[in-house]
Structure 1
C-alpha cells in the first residue's frame, strides 16, 4: 500500500453487498466511492480517476462488460485495473470478462476476506507492471529495456513480434488473453493480422523457448496464457 489512500470505485446496485464491500475495504485503508448505476460512474470518472474499479456485471442501466469496454477504449483510463464482481458464473462470461481486459473475476457469493485479498493482489500486480523491466520465470528471463531473452543463461533470438507477445503474456501472468487483444497489442489494428497470425507466432515462440514453451498454454476458442 502507498502512503496515500488507494481509490476504489465500486459499481454495484445491490446496496447490501455494496455496504459489506465498502466497509471491508475501508477497514483496510482504501477510499471507496460507490455507484448504483453506470451513468453515475461515467459522469464521476471524468472528474476523478481511481486506482481500481470493481464492477457488477448486471446493472439496471448498462451491463458491466460495457463499462469495462469503455475504460479499455479510453487511453486515459485503459491502465485502470478492473475486477468483475458478479453472479454470472459461466465460463463464457468469465472469458468475455478477461477478453475485455479484466484483471480478476469474482463470483457471488464470495468470501469478503478473499475479495480484499484479491483487490490487494490486483493492485500489487498493477504497480509491478509499471515498475518491472525484467520478468523472471524460472530459468526464463525477459529484459524489456534491453529487449533481451535468456533461457538458463543462454540468449534466445526472438523477432520483435515474438518478443512483444511474450512480454504481453508475462505482464498478464496467469490471465487468459484473447487473440484479439494480442493482435491489438502487437500489431495495432493491422487488418492483415488474424487469429492464424497469432497462432503461428505462438508456435514459433514455444519452439524457441524449448522446455519453457510448454508454459504458454492454449485457452481453447479464446487465446493464450502463461503460467506454471
Structure 2
C-alpha cells in the first residue's frame, strides 16, 4: 500500500474526478467514492491513510459517516479532513470538531489541500499506522 493513500468522498462527480486527477499528479494514491456507503466499502477493502470527506452529501452525510468511523475499533484512527462549501452553524461546528481532524472550506486551492493532507499524515501515531496496515 502506498504511504500516501487518500480516500476522497464527495457526491459531486465532477469534483471527485478533478480531485482524483490532481492528487494523482501530486504523488498521492487516491481512491474515489461518491457516497458514504461506497466509502465504507472501500475502507473495508483497503484502509486509506487519510480521508477527504464532503460534509454535505445525500443519504448518510459526512458528519454521520465520520462519527461512525471514529466509533469503529479498527478505523477510528484514520485522520479525516472535512470539506464543505456551506457556512456552518455553531452546532455544525461543534459536530465537526467532534468527528473530523481538520477542515477545508470549498472552494480550496489544490496546494492548500496538499498541505492539509500532508499535515494529517505527519500526525500519524504508532496506533494509527497499525490501524492503517490492517486489512479486512
TM-score, L = length of structure 2: 0.83
Shift of 1:91: 5.2
Provide the residue aligned with 1:67 in structure 2.
65
Match for 2:10 among 9, 12, 16?
Answer: 12
1:137-216 to 2 correspondences below 5 Å? none
1:41-56 to 2 correspondences below 5 Å? 41-56=39-54
Distance 1:123 1:53 in 2: 10
Matched, 1:117 2:115: yes
Shift of 1:16: 2.1
Q: Is the 8 A contact 2:3 2:49 kept in 1?
A: no
**Structure 1 residues 91 and 125 mapped into 2: Cα distance closer, same or farther (>3 Å)?**
farther
Structure 2 residue matching 1:10: 3-state secondary structure:
strand
Provide the residue aligned with 1:95 in structure 2.
94
5+ residue gaps, structure 1, are: 132-228
Range with bigger deviation, 17-26 or 63-72: 17-26
Shift of 1:94: 2.7
| RMSD of aligned alpha carbons | 1.8
Aligned residues: 126
Provide the residue aligned with 1:200 in structure 2.
none
TM-score, L = length of structure 1: 0.51
5+ residue gaps, structure 2, are: 128-136
